[in-house]
Amino acid sequence: MINLATVSLVLGSVIGAFCIFLVLSPAMARNTLLALPRNKVAGWMFSGVGLLWAARLLWLTPLGRFENLKPVLVVLAPVTFLFIVFFMDELLGARALGGMFVLIPAPVLEATRGSDSPFRLVIVTLAYVMAVQGIALVLSPYLLRKEVGVLMGSNPLCRIWGVIGALLGVALIILGITLF
């Protein structure tokens, strides 16, 4: 099990690094995010990681009377990946990113269970926002382009969101170092 300090440090580092990218190169960041839904390689990578993660979770979960079906996962996961790659490549990058956003909150929320600190609610809130955003992306992958267009329509606006996100990342790192 991962402790809350590690989760806070990792989340803060990832969010901070992404948001520094928004501040330093807003046009490139915006173009990258706008191209992500139709980027096949990114979609394949996110799908592969998400599928392996989901298969691992199923493997580790007690399934009761369906326990004997676990060996089928070894065959089913690669076959599912091939089906995804060949038959569901439309907007796969955004859908697969949404799938990752749905999977990430599980270990994050698991890490918050052992903490008494009221600041754990910052991490919990971030996890639920990530899960809701992930569900939205899986169901409506075109929303990524729409959100990028609205929230990051210009370089100054992109930089403002980058600064806000970088401050959130720094706050998470400070929480991870000092309180958790």
> Alpha helix (H) ranges present in the chain?
4-24, 26-35, 40-60, 70-87, 92-103, 105-112, 120-139, 143-151, 155-178
1 pLDDT band, cuts 50/70/90, is low
Between 10-14, 59-63, 102-106, 122-126, the lowest mean confidence (pLDDT) is in: 59-63
31-86 pLDDT, tens per residue?
Answer: 888 888 888 888 999 999 999 998 888 888 888 888 888 888 888 889 999 998 88
Q: How many CB atoms lie within 10 A of CB 171?
A: 16
d(CA 155, CA 175): 30
The stretch 173-178 carries a mean pLDDT of: 91
pLDDT score for 114: 80
User: Which residue do the tokens 């052992």 mark?
Assistant: 114
152 pLDDT band, cuts 50/70/90, is confident
pLDDT score for 89: 76
pLDDT score for 141: 86
Of 147, 100, 107, the residue nearest 123 (C-alpha) = 107
d(CA 1, CA 108): 10
